């Protein structure tokens, strides 16, 4: 009986540690491996539209849609895609959208060394600097996964981590299913995550994303709510409190 109790205790402890590890890596509100924000204030009539994995050849079509509705969004760009399509990256910024870092090669950071994580984040930062002439101060890790070394890399680059409250899953769902997820989750302070690219794919088909965004903007769930950039969603003091920074870049 004593042996069985020790085995049960060991298994329970192992399960608890595994659960804690999964939360540290993938929990949207976790700050164990790197700090981040995942939703904005609930007392303001606004939500943030964000797009990952760009730029791609399909990004200009999304930009045209956002222009038609006078909407500004935040684009988390992949360094390799910026180097491949610098003109489109510059067009994102020229049209008034906010730009953040989404890493350089969109790798999984899990089980990589802290040095690997740091190099990929810095390379993404430099690609955006070279194309746009400034350093972004927002960062979303590839796949939204945190890992050892990310906290130090964010601090060294002056980056604020950004997760999401609603994931569109637009790389696999139909336009109707994406729109349903978005309209069900949109609310004051929500951060919606979509994609204007598909990791490092060339000329990806993002028509379901574009159709779903149009449906979202026309849906009664969004009436009275303003889609904004991440910076506009948060007051600076909230970023300072969330990240423990002493000043903004």
Q: What is 5-23 written as a DSSP string? A: HHHHHHHHHHHHHHHHHHH
Two tokens, residue 164: 């999401």
Q: pLDDT at position 248, please?
A: 35
Report the predicted TM-score, pTM, of the whole model to 2 decimal places. 0.87
> Is residue 118 domain-resident?
yes
User: Number of structural domains, the chain?
Assistant: 1
Q: How many CA atoms lie within 13 A of 247 on its CB side?
A: 1
Q: Mind listing the pLDDT tens digit for each residue in 225-239?
A: 999 999 999 976 555
Catalytic residues: 52, 195
Q: pLDDT at position 167, please?
A: 97
Q: pLDDT at position 1, please?
A: 53
Place of tokens 């004593």: 2
Q: Please give the Cα distance from 235 to 46 (Å, whole number).
A: 12
Q: Please give the Cα distance from 205 to 62 (Å, whole number).
A: 11
The β-bridge relationship of strands 98-101 and 74-77 is parallel
Q: Mind listing the pLDDT tens digit for each residue in 160-218?
A: 999 999 999 999 999 999 999 999 999 999 999 999 999 999 999 999 999 999 999 99
Q: pLDDT at position 8, please?
A: 54
Q: pLDDT at position 13, please?
A: 46
Q: Beta partners for 36?
A: 161
Q: pLDDT at position 33, please?
A: 76
> Is residue 217 domain-resident?
yes
Q: pLDDT at position 22, please?
A: 73
Place of tokens 């038609």: 68
> Is residue 8 domain-resident?
no
Average pLDDT value for residue range 58-86: 98
> Is residue 124 domain-resident?
yes
> Is residue 79 domain-resident?
yes
> Is residue 13 domain-resident?
no
> Is residue 6 domain-resident?
no
Place of tokens 């300072």: 240
Q: Mind listing the pLDDT tens digit for each residue in 125-168?
A: 999 999 999 999 999 999 999 989 999 999 999 999 999 999 99
Looking at the predicted structure, is the pLDDT value of residue 241 above 60?
no
Average pLDDT value for residue range 40-50: 95
> What CATH code is carried by the domain that includes residue 100?
3.20.20.370
> Is residue 248 domain-resident?
no
Q: pLDDT at position 197, please?
A: 97
Average pLDDT value for residue range 47-69: 98
Q: Please give the Cα distance from 179 to 195 (Å, whole number).
A: 13
Q: Mind listing the pLDDT tens digit for each residue in 3-38?
A: 666 555 544 544 543 454 576 666 676 678 788 999
Q: Please give the Cα distance from 170 to 209 (Å, whole number).
A: 6
Q: pLDDT at position 100, please?
A: 98
Range of the domain at 209: 36-243
């Amino acid at each position: 009986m004593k042996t069985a109790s020790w085995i049960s205790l060991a298994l329970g402890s192992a399960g608890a540690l595994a659960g804690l590890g999964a939360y540290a890596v993938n929990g949207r509100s976790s700050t164990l491996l790197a700090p981040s924000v995942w939703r904005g204030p609930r007392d303001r009539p606004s939500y943030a539209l964000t797009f990952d994995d760009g730029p791609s050849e399909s990004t200009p079509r999304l930009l045209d849609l956002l222009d038609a509705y006078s909407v500004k969004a935040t684009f988390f760009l992949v360094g390799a895609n910026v180097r491949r399509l610098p003109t489109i990256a510059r067009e994102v910024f020229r049209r008034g959208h906010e730009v953040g870092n989404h890493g350089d090669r969109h790798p999984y950071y899990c089980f990589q060394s802290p040095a690997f994580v740091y190099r990929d984040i810095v390379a993404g930062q430099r690609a955006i600097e070279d194309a746009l002439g400034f350093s972004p101060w927002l960062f979303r890790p590839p796949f939204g996964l945190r890992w050892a070394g990310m906290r130090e890399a964010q601090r060294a680059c002056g980056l604020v981590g950004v997760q999401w409250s609603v994931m569109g899953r637009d790389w696999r769902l139909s336009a109707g299913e994406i729109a349903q997820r978005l309209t069900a989750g949109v609310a004051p302070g929500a951060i919606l995550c979509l994609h204007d690219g598909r990791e490092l794919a060339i000329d990806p088909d993002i028509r379901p994303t574009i159709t779903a965004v149009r449906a979202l903007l026309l849906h009664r769930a969004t009436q009275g709510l303003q889609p904004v950039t991440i910076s506009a969603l948060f007051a600076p003091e909230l970023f300072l409190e969330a990240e423990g920074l002493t000043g903004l870049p």
